[in-house]
Structure 1
Amino acid sequence: MTDDPAGAAERRRSAEQAFKREWLVESARAVFAREGIARSSMREIAKNAGYTVGVLYNYFRSKEELYAEVLRGSLATVADRIATATDGAPDGQRAAAGLRAMYGFYRERPGDFDLSFYLFQGARPVGLDAELDARLNALVERVMDELAAGLEADRLAVPGTARSHAVRASSAVFGVILMAHTGRLGSLGEEPDTVLDAMVDDLLGPRAGGDEETAR
Structure 2
Amino acid sequence: MSNERKAGRRRAVSELKRELIVDAARKVFEAEGLDGASLRSIAAAAGYTPAALYFHFDSKEAIYAELLLTSLASLGQTVSRAILRTKQPADRLRAAAMAFFRFYAENPRDLDLGFYLFRGGMKPHGLGKKRDDVLNAALIAALSPIAEAAQVLGATREQARLLMADVFAHAAGLLLLAHTGRIRLFGASAQNLMERFVEHAIATLTAKKPA
Do these two structures clear the TM 0.5 threshold for a shared fold by scoring above it?
A: yes
Normalising by structure 2, we get a TM-score of 0.85
- Match status 1:28 vs 2:16: no
2:93–2:145 contact (8 Å) kept in structure 1: no
**CA separation in 1, counterparts of 2:150 and 2:178?**
25
Match of 2:84, SS state, is helix
Q: TM-score, normalised by structure 1?
A: 0.83
Query: Identical aligned pairs, as a percentage?
Result: 33
Distance 1:86 1:152, change over 3 A: farther
CA shift for structure 1 position 152: 4.3
- What's the Cα RMSD here? 2.5
Counterpart among 45, 55, 58 of residue 42 in structure 2 = 45
- Give the one of 104, 107, 121 matched to 2:105: 107
- Quick one: distance in 2 between partners of 1:94 and 1:9? 47
Larger deviation, residues 21-30 vs 121-130: 121-130
Q: Which runs of 5+ in 1 are unaligned?
A: none
CA shift at 1:71, angstroms? Answer: 0.5
- State the match for 1:68 in structure 2: 65
User: Secondary structure at the residue paired with 1:97?
Assistant: helix
Number of equivalenced pairs: 208
**SS at 1:59's partner residue?**
coil
Q: Which residue of 2 aligns with 1:16?
A: 13
Shift in Å at residue 75 of structure 1? 0.9
Mean Cα deviation higher: 105-114 or 35-44 = 35-44
Match of 1:117 among 90, 93, 115: 115
Write the letter of the residue equivalent to 1:18: E
Q: Secondary structure at the match of 1:93?
A: helix
Structure with more relative contact order (C-alpha pairs < 8 Å, separation 6 or more): 2
**Amino acid aligned to 1:151:** A
Match of 1:6 among 3, 6, 25: 3
Deviations 1:161-185 (A, max 9, x none): 4333222222222221122122221
